[in-house]
């Protein structure tokens, strides 16, 4: 696993980092419809941000040690790349993810937690045995 310091040192000029960012960006664009992002309600924008955040989160967790700063670095890289490619909807989503990072992290952490099953004691009612 790569550490965030290595990614920062490599930067976008590194082939591996550039390819990783391109792949994450392509994955986002093929998975989430962001073409009408500017006209969405604030609630739908938050849902879109959450979906994009989850894609980035899952992509990072497979390749890089994930933490808040690493996520921020990758979001910044995608933001820069999307502005270079004049994909202003994606760059706006990235800006909003930066603003709502804590809320999105909380949403992600609560959705990942699995409910713990409750243990019920099994009782055997001895008074209802067959009487002969």
**What local confidence, expressed as pLDDT, does residue 89 receive?**
93
Q: Which of 1-10, 27-36, 79-88, 92-101 has the lowest mean pLDDT?
A: 1-10
**What local confidence, expressed as pLDDT, does residue 43 receive?**
92
**What local confidence, expressed as pLDDT, does residue 113 receive?**
47
Question: What contacts 24+ positions apart, CB below 8 Å, involve 1-6?
Answer: 1/63, 1/64, 1/65, 2/63, 2/64, 2/65, 3/64, 3/65, 4/64, 4/65, 4/67, 4/69, 4/70, 4/73
CB contact at 8 A, 93 and 47: no
Domain boundaries, the chain: 4-114
pLDDT tens column, 35-74: 899 999 999 999 999 999 999 888 877 766 666 777 888 8
pTM above 0.85, yes or no: no
pLDDT tens column, 86-127: 999 999 999 999 999 888 888 877 654 444 556 666 667 666
């Amino acid at each position: 696993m790569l550490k965030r310091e290595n990614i920062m040192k490599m930067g976008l000029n590194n082939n591996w980092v550039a390819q990783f960012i391109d792949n994450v960006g392509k994955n986002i664009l093929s998975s989430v419809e962001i073409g009408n992002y500017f006209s969405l309600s604030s609630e739908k924008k938050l849902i879109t941000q959450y979906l994009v955040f989850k894609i980035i989160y899952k992509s990072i967790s497979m390749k890089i040690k994930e933490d808040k700063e690493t996520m921020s670095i990758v979001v910044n890289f995608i933001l820069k790349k999307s502005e270079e490619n004049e994909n202003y909807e994606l760059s706006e989503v990235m800006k909003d993810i930066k603003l709502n990072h804590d809320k999105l992290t909380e949403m992600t952490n609560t959705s990942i937690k699995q409910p713990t099953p409750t243990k019920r004691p099994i009782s055997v009612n001895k008074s209802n045995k067959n009487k002969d």
